[in-house]
Structure 1
Amino acid sequence: MLIDHPVAELLGVYYLDALPDAQDGEIEAHLAVCAACRGTADEIVELVAALALVRDEHRAGLLDAFGVLHRDRDAPPPSAFARFAPMPVATPADDLIEDLAATPDVGPLVRAGRLRRRPRDRGRARALAATGTLFCAALLVAGLAVTSLARAGDTPGAAGPYVTAAATGRAGGVSLSVVVSEPVAGESLVAATVSGLDPDEPYQLHATTADGRTALVSTWVDTGRVRDVTGRLDAVLTDVVAVTVTEPDGGTVVTVELGGTNR
């Protein structure tokens, strides 16, 4: 029963489909009547979406460097439990930003089918559950990868300059995280992770450039789960000022402005 395990501390495992079916049902029933736990859930979905921007080896490295949340004061330092070779002198933040700027492939890195979405009428999330290692990494990612602006020089052997910009935004219960890169000179690659959309409804992803031009990047019919969307447009990275999810009739669902205010 959930009496011995507070719902807030199980939400992370719940959204990763790692709980027994019976306990899944208990959590769903509890979320329907508990505003505080409903408040926790959306935040966790956003953090899991943020992990789409980080490689598996970096999540493992963050665990080795910083350990697990709520470690006992008398316990040995995290390095005593390292599963890999000692970390380089550079901080994890430097490693993450350099890799984000220098890696040509920014495709989806999270298996979206493993994530579970609550019905929209269950409310929005506000609090953070202490669910251990996964969320220790997610907290760091949210600050280092999703809301940062990383720039690097020309990549050796690349066809053109490779620079990357990242941002995140939320509106009406819908979360959108965006990475825009320029792996080839004059062409930008948009990689977005979106959650909170209505299932079985069509949506479009648009990019807006500094001259006011709007280009269609991708279209899809949503499944109601966390989704990764990618597409290209003929524009240099510095000209891309916003990325927007819209409905087919042109109605705006959520917009992320690169270097500006997200809504």
Structure 2
Amino acid sequence: MLEERVVTYLRETERGTVRPVPQSVSFADPDRPTGGRLIIPGVTPENDPGLTFEQAGERTDVVWVPTRLSMASRKIAESSHASVRGQTVDSARNIVLRFESILEYFFAHILMSRKEVVRIEDQPPPVKFNLGKNRKHYFDFRATFSDGWRTGFNVKPSDLLERDQTFEKMDAINAVHTPSFSDDILVVTEVEVTRAKGLNAVDVNQARRNRNQSECDQVLDRLLVIGEPIKIWRLQDMIGDPGMVWDAILCLLYDKKVHIQTPGLRFSDDRLVRVR
């Protein structure tokens, strides 16, 4: 941690952007609660992000509801010596998602960071198949896209694919359960889910929890006026609120309104950003 701070200081010194230590602490000003959601019972759809604070206003028919529990069809062990296990929150749909490895954690965030994904199911109900004998398989995730297409995802390290007969299982399942379970099934490994892509997705989803639409509009308007790619740190200096600009850019990236240079690499304030 100390080494990272030193590197950051040296980089900012080189480009002349060492900022003074703020005398007061400022916090994000999100449009909605960062946990749970505001709803009108019997009116707000289940997968809707809920009302903004402004929409709720002084209404007396609005209630706050906590994050829903995971709908996983099987209970996973809370701990393991072999992998990281835990829970994360799909804030857009206000539901907990479980994961059994860091690869699954990153992939869950990648799905959440895609605007076209409208529903994510962790550990959906098992499917039965025959591969020499009758078996059943739990997919790690099933995603529904805005066009209604459903994809089942099996997330697994590449060095386990052969031992687990993963592709043979997927072929057997595909022959029986497509399109009843999903329209297609995909195997996802660390080749597709790199650490950089996973951490970028985590950043995007954190920014979305802090989303303030007026700040997003302000940053987008400034980018439209600039009219050409600009490094994020330069835009932060121009507007004067680095944290706000960072969150706004990631929200606009989710909205597909901006493009960040080399998105497959780890995001940093040294990347170029432009309007799409």
TM range (shorter): under 0.3
- Considering Cα pairs closer than 8 Å and 6+ residues apart, tell me whether 1 or 2 has the greater RCO: 1
TM-score where L is the length of structure 2: 0.22
Q: Which has the larger radius of gyration?
A: 2
Q: Which has the higher strand share?
A: 1
TM-score where L is the length of structure 1: 0.23
